[in-house]
A = this chain, B = another copy of it.
């Protein structure tokens, strides 16, 4: 049975939580008095359904149902995890917690999306303060892995541990913030930059577009993969962090930023920024911008994944959690996935070369299954592809679910031949076929040689099985 999460408060953040839980196989119950909640969450869900599965090579779990409830008590019933994303008013949050705690499982995690309140403020006056933690996510919640997990001093260790397990399980990175502090960690940086950016616009130094370009063509690219300190460690060169600090240290006392000066939040400032933002991005609707953002994030996250670096490592780990063993059906389903945006051209069609990659991935799955896995390769043995023949029968688009059926058509000695059919999941149409001939090689001599016994036996067994069927 699916595990159950309750989402209290919809909107962009609550909707992002609902989408991530549902796509990761959880049953989701939503409570939000806003009559528009269902529509709003539906829109966030549409974005998430398109983008999140693109991050993974492994198939997603069966999607959980999202239901909407008129009573808070009904929404939290049987939930293991409750995420509160109501407006940032402490009295409102306290009222909501009292109602939740009157109805929920005392062992459930009760987490808040707040960026403005510390856990001690949330826990104050609660029936079970130890049940409440901050779990502060980042928009879009369904793609960005970071969640700041702040227990404060009174949250129960088993609640914290449970929150960590659940958040990791839905593909997030719970960053345990050990000391509670205003705005946790990341928003302190965001606030410092936002404040400075408002001054630059107000003072006429730069427009919103110039500021965005100053970020995304420069240090934004560094931060996406290393953050701040590791970047500077590298900048310090051979002498490392200590050298960097000695160089940069004195600048700290220079008057570069406006610091305490708070730009007055006047109508003029709002107008100025709104006008500049319209000039910069007004040619695109918010939906188009969201899609652009999601496509870019998917592409960046997948790029990092292929490097095995930064947030890409987190995506790999989630793949591993989701990937099950192959079943020995005839044919075998070796690949089941969606076509990600980095596999398509600007028209959204899957690039020719990626058909070959899908078949190569299919072979790799089969080889892992017969025992020619990473350890086998590390020990100096592998199959190399000698020849492939691909027939392109139909087009496929970004976001479409595909699967590959594979048959072993030859498995004798050092020879392995596979027949792949790539099909569209929605209607079973064959998109392409691949005939792949492989040779077993010694990675030491770089020459062909017979596989080790257990691999040979598995290959021969599958070949017999597939020939008979």
Contact = CB atoms under 8 A, between A and B. Distances in A.
A254 B190 contact: no
Nearest to A285: B238
B223 A220 contact: yes
A46 interface: no
A376 interface: no
Nearest to A240: B286
Nearest to A143: B221
Contact of A256 (B182, B214, B353): B182
Interface in A180-215: 181-183, 185-198, 200, 203-206, 208-215
A212 B189 contact: no
Contacts of A221: 144, 224, 297, 300-301, 311
A357 B342 CA distance: 13
Contacts of A138: 218-219, 222
Nearest to A286: B238
A183 B259 CA distance: 14
A442 B204 CA distance: 52
Contacts of A277: 229-230, 233, 240-241
A307 B341 contact: yes
Contact of A189 (B197, B295, B306): B197
B226 A296 contact: yes
Contacts of A241: 273-274, 277-278
Contacts of A1: none
A121 interface: no
A329 interface: no
Interface in A50-69: none
- Identify whether the interface residues of A are mostly helix, strand, loop, or mixed: helix
A273 B245 CA distance: 9
Nearest to A12: B237
Contacts of A253: 262
A358 B351 CA distance: 11
A303 B250 contact: no
Contacts of A102: none
B196 A188 contact: yes
B256 A230 contact: no
A114 to B, nearest CB: 12
A278 B245 CA distance: 14
A208 to B, nearest CB: 4
Interface stretch (A388-396, A409-417, A455-463): A388-396
* Copies of this protein in the complex: 2
Contacts of A189: 192-193, 196-197, 214-215, 219
Interface stretch (A23-31, A171-179, A421-429): A171-179
Contact of A257 (B192, B205, B306, B309): B192
B193 A206 contact: no
Interface stretch (A124-132, A379-387, A399-407): A379-387
A71 interface: no
Interface in A222-269: 222-231, 233-238, 240-242, 245-246, 248-257, 259-260, 262-263, 265
A276 B233 CA distance: 11
Given A189-B193, A216-B225, A360-B351, A259 B259 contact: yes
With most chain B CB atoms within 10 A of its CB, the pick from A221, A301, A302, A390 is A221
Interface string A288-303: 0110110111011111
Contacts of A259: 259-260
Given A229-B280, A233-B289, A356-B353, A217 B300 contact: no
Given A216-B310, A216-B311, A233-B286, 12 more contacts: A139-B235, A146-B213, A181-B200, A189-B196, A208-B229, A213-B227, A215-B227, A220-B227, A240-B274, A245-B273, A307-B341, A308-B346
> Considering the complex of A and B, which 4 residue pairs feature the smallest CB-CB distances, nearest first?
A353-B357, A212-B227, A146-B218, A220-B223
30 contacts: A175-B213, A175-B214, A179-B204, A179-B205, A186-B219, A189-B193, A191-B252, A192-B195, A213-B227, A214-B227, A215-B227, A216-B225, A222-B293, A226-B293, A226-B296, A229-B280, A230-B289, A246-B270, A249-B265, A250-B265, A252-B263, A252-B265, A259-B259, A296-B303, A296-B307, A300-B304, A303-B303, A353-B356, A356-B388, A387-B392
